[in-house]
Chain A
């Protein structure tokens, strides 16, 4: 799996856009809305390689923060200018409101691409990049408010271990969110989806990234992945409560959510 992502790293984003016709962006936006993070949240994004979730998190928290500041200023209408200036100064230093995201990935190349993107797009504060294995995270217990893994858990050999690690590093009250390809139950759609997956995606891989085999692997790994209910059971086994899932696009993609109590 490591070599697949080494060769795939640089063209990862281009391929994602081509394969999903840009819809993966919508899926990730929906994940972020579901998460609805407030400023001060500490997020761990596992298998987050090129930073898509991390950047969305920062954007979301920033805009929530801005709204907060705006509301605060409205309430301060009858204060003196001096007082308003002082309070604004204090708040200005935490445009993120102390929110932070740690991007963890097992693959150095993916992290490299992510860091370059962050620089290019102008993301600097509240972001850190850590090399690590989802089955054995380099973090202490009960550190994070939210744990996300977007299109990454499919590539983990021992999903149960990754879920256990997720449980371990989350604070009590923390939330687990998983965005992943899942099973389409509608038979007609399933046929079309299979056709598209097996006929078109490896071709796109060959033409855009010069790599048929990696994308053939991708399509096959999606088929081998446990369906919605099974994954829900596995998440419950790891100790999470109120485990639920939401299908996107008829089950092509699903968001599973669970809480550590």
Chain B
């Protein structure tokens, strides 16, 4: 259906979902397992997301044009030159501080609809922007917080599982901060915000992060 697509039977999807869930818990560095879990369990959620996008002017645009966020499509020097506090500048800062790159996202393999494959690809590429908007780093704590937000926003079972089981590996002190401050904030923001996949980020690099937060309905991070 699309390059990289591996058709799978329902039994294979079930086995993959179970196997990848276990593997992702045992070895948190297996990002490919998290990706596989998302693809094999996300059918319903992805369809919902796609429909939300279709019904929103900006989301519809994204589905039509299918922009991809990767180092080759981003003009890093231009983004770095933008004023502090703008989406572009803060996004680049996030990438540099945490030493991550948008090119490390796995392409989908097990989604059986090529439009939905794009939706999950978009979700993965926008994940770093979520970090920027939420002001969360890429350590275990930050990732869990972002997962909570994404779980509310997307309804992807992988996010829900990640949000629920991620904290298992955190120390008690961090768990406290998580439970008392961060998660409630993430949930409130997630519920309040409009669909984050409906934002054409590539056209909004100059917009200040604060204003984008307000527009979306994300409360300021604690």
Contacts and interface: CB of A to CB of B under 8 A. Distances in A.
A213 B5 CA distance: 11
A252 to B, nearest CB: 20
Interface residues of B, number: 15
- Chain A contact surface mostly: helix
List the 7 closest A-B pairs by CB distance, nearest first: A207-B19, A203-B15, A210-B32, A207-B23, A199-B11, A203-B16, A199-B12
Contacts of A199: 9, 11-12, 15
Nearest to A216: B6
Nearest to A208: B23
B9 A204 contact: no
B41 to A, nearest CB: 14
Given A199-B12, A200-B15, A207 B20 contact: yes
Interface in A167-204: 199-200, 202-204
Interface string B1-38: 00000100101100110011011000000101100100
B14 to A, nearest CB: 9
B25 to A, nearest CB: 12
B93 interface: no
A212 B6 contact: yes
Contacts of A213: 6
Contacts, number: 29
A206 interface: yes
Contacts of B30: 210
A196 to B, nearest CB: 11
A203 B9 CA distance: 11
- Chain B contact surface mostly: helix
A202 B9 CA distance: 12
Interface residues of A, number: 11
Contact of A203 (B19, B32, B109): B19
A178 to B, nearest CB: 32
A204 B32 CA distance: 14
B21 to A, nearest CB: 10
Interface of A: 199-200, 202-204, 206-208, 210, 212-213
24 contacts: A199-B9, A199-B11, A199-B15, A200-B15, A202-B12, A203-B12, A203-B15, A203-B16, A203-B19, A204-B19, A206-B16, A206-B19, A206-B20, A206-B36, A207-B16, A207-B19, A207-B20, A207-B23, A207-B36, A208-B23, A210-B30, A210-B32, A210-B33, A212-B109
A212 B36 CA distance: 11
A223 B98 CA distance: 47
Interface in B73-114: 109
A210 B109 CA distance: 12
B147 to A, nearest CB: 21
Contacts of B23: 207-208
A102 to B, nearest CB: 36
A135 to B, nearest CB: 32
A174 to B, nearest CB: 44
A200 B19 CA distance: 11
Contacts of B16: 203, 206-207
Nearest to B32: A210
Given A199-B12, A206-B16, 14 more contacts: A199-B9, A199-B15, A200-B15, A202-B12, A203-B12, A203-B16, A203-B19, A204-B19, A206-B20, A206-B36, A207-B16, A207-B22, A210-B33, A212-B109
B102 to A, nearest CB: 20
Contacts of A200: 15
Contacts of A202: 12
Contacts of A207: 16, 19-20, 22-23, 33, 36
Contacts of B19: 203-204, 206-207
Nearest to B22: A207
Contacts of A208: 23
A199 B15 CA distance: 9
